[in-house]
């Protein structure tokens, strides 16, 4: 199983603790062993196959849709979801902005404006596409590996948010959401928008 590089320190520490605890007393090894399994599950990084239609915007995160309207699609990730984030479309990264902020519960509407976040702006064939990685109540670090000027493919990995968070995708003009609130989506695979809005 592939793990995101950000997870190796956590997996290593939990694994060492489980091993030491097992030799000390097998019964007490249960707690670090559970922590080890949690870390492996949290930092897993499965391969994904994006749809071939370049007109679609693809989910940048695994999780549940908590907003879907004419301007934005927001996806909430709980601690059991894959937290590796991906580009929703192919294009060139025009800019990246990191904003320090609070750590409100990521499901709150005001988390998008108040929490620590990193916004990535893509220049695509359809125009600018902005998506924002938002830290949550437990998530305390956004690891963004994308760089300004870099070209990315649809579904390409751009970073990871640690321990619960959300991703907001601002929809370009003329694009309608293709998901509904409460729907589960898969990063790099589920179309979240793409059809023209009805006039």
Question: Hey, which residues are catalytic here?
Answer: 165
CB 59 within 8 A of CB 190: yes
Token couple for 141: 């670090």
Report which of 167, 114, 161 is spatially closest to residue 142, judged by C-alpha positions.
Answer: 161
Token couple for 115: 């929490």
CB 92 within 8 A of CB 68: no
Q: How many residues does the chain have?
A: 199
Count the Cβ atoms, other than its own, within 10 Å of residue 179.
19
The DSSP code sequence of 83-152 is -EEE-SS-EEEEEEEEE--B---TTSTTHHHHB-EEEEEEEETTEEEEEEEEE-SS---EEE---TT-EE
């Amino acid at each position: 199983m592939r793990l995101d590089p950000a997870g190796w320190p956590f997996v290593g520490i939990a694994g060492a603790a489980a091993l030491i605890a097992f030799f000390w007393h097998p019964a007490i090894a249960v707690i670090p062993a559970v922590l080890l399994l949690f870390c492996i599950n949290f930092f897993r990084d499965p391969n994904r196959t994006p749809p071939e239609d370049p007109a679609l915007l693809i989910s940048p995160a695994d999780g549940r849709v908590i907003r879907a309207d004419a301007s934005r699609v927001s996806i909430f990730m709980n601690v059991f979801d894959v937290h590796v984030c991906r580009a929703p479309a192919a294009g060139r990264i025009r800019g990246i902005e990191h904003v320090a902020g609070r750590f409100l519960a990521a499901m709150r509407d005001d988390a998008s404006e108040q929490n620590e976040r990193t916004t990535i702006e893509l220049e695509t064939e359809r125009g600018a596409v902005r998506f924002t990685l938002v830290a949550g109540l437990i998530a305390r670090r956004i690891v963004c590996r994308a760089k300004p000027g870099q070209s990315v493919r649809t579904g390409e990995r751009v970073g990871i948010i640690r321990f619960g968070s959300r991703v907001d995708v601002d929809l370009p003009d003329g694009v309608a959401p293709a998901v509904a609130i409460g729907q589960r989506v898969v990063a790099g695979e589920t179309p979240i928008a793409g059809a023209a809005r009805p006039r």
